[in-house]
Amino acid sequence: MYQRRDFLKTMSTGIALTAVTGKLLGCNSSSLVDTTGNIKEYGLQLYTLRDVMPKDPKGILKQVAAMGYKQIESYPHDKMGIFWGMTNNEFKKYLDDLGMKIVSSHCNTEKDFDRTANEAAAIGMKYLLSPWVGPKKNIDEFKKIAEKFNQLGTICKKAGIKFAYHNHDYSFKLVEGKLPQDVMMQNTDAALVDYEMDIYWVVTAGEDPIKWFEKYPDRFRLSHIKDRKKNVPLSDKDASCIVGQGQIDFAKILKAGQKNGLQYYIIEQERYDNTTSLQAVKENAEYLKKLKI
């Protein structure tokens, strides 16, 4: 199976960071949840559909819209980029016609980052994200990464969007007695750098997502909603499953996130057992439609 970690490692060389700038406009946590506790708008990380998206980007996006998704988070395809063979404006126009919007994208921060930031800002995107920096041997390396994040955040701010970092499990594993996630969050400027909590990876690392939302209020602005199979050891990292069929209590976790500044709820799934990626995306949407937080 093609693993996300392999994709991220080959996607960029050196530090794979991300960019975005500016303030989120007119967006607060409570406005994204209605009076009954339902999430008003939820998104999809297109990496979930990596097996079919490259074959027919427009056709797949049309199906995604029909499932109820209102937001898209993209990723950099090696040939079609984050706008899937279209210009930034063409991509926005197509999503507009479908009733969707691209709010963020993972990106290669080592290649054409300034151009990507400006193109993203021009169509109203909110975030560019660094999806991977990889495990490091010492904590000083993570301090240097934090410095780089601040630099990328500054570039993004000038362009008019924001920058954020998407975690995996390695940043929640002790290095020289410290957690790299703490080091990165404590050494980045909150005005420049936000974070996307991949809830699956926090749980896989043996940590409690709620405690992290509460420890760093208003820093985790985005989330990846990805469930983890029941009755599997934490050592099994490839245990993604359809949301609601696993062990993660999303109602409780997302409620805590919403109280602490979480603004984006983005579905991602990396593994499919006895189903297709499109069917999994549909079932994930059905779960979120009914979820109350």
Domains detected in the chain: 4-290 (3.20.20.150)
Lowest mean pLDDT: which of 41-45, 90-94, 200-204, 270-274?
270-274
Determine the average pLDDT of the residues in 243-248: 97
* Rg (the chain; Cα; Å): 17
Judge whether residue 127 has pLDDT over 70. yes
Q: What is the pLDDT of residue 35?
A: 74
Beta-strand pair 71-74/43-45: parallel
Dihedral sign computed on CA atoms, order 31, 213, 243, 173? positive
Determine the average pLDDT of the residues in 144-153: 98
Judge whether residue 15 has pLDDT over 90. no
Q: What is the pLDDT of residue 8?
A: 53
- The pLDDT tens digits of the residues spanning 251-274 come to 999 999 999 999 999 999 999 999
Residue with tokens 């709620």: 210
**Which of 225, 201, 188 has the alpha carbon at shortest distance from 73?**
225
CA distance 209 to 219: 13
Estimate the crossing angle of helix 88-98 against helix 113-122, to 10 degrees.
Answer: 40
What is the value of pTM for the model shown?
Answer: 0.90
Residue 92 pLDDT grade (very low, low, confident, very high; cuts 50, 70, 90): very high
Judge whether residue 1 has pLDDT over 70. no
Determine the average pLDDT of the residues in 120-149: 98
Judge whether residue 11 has pLDDT over 80. no
> 132-161 as b/e, with b when 16 or more CB fall inside 10 Å?
bbeebeebebbbebbebbbebbbbbbebbb
* Mean pLDDT, the chain, integer: 91
Please report how many Cα atoms fall inside a 13 Å half-sphere around the Cα of residue 259, on the Cβ side.
13
Judge whether residue 16 has pLDDT over 50. no
Q: At residue 41, what are phi and psi to the nearest 5 degrees? A: -135, 135
Lowest mean pLDDT: which of 27-31, 43-47, 103-107?
27-31
Q: At residue 226, what are phi and psi to the nearest 5 degrees? A: -145, 120
Q: At residue 152, what are phi and psi to the nearest 5 degrees? A: -65, -35
Q: What is the pLDDT of residue 31?
A: 60
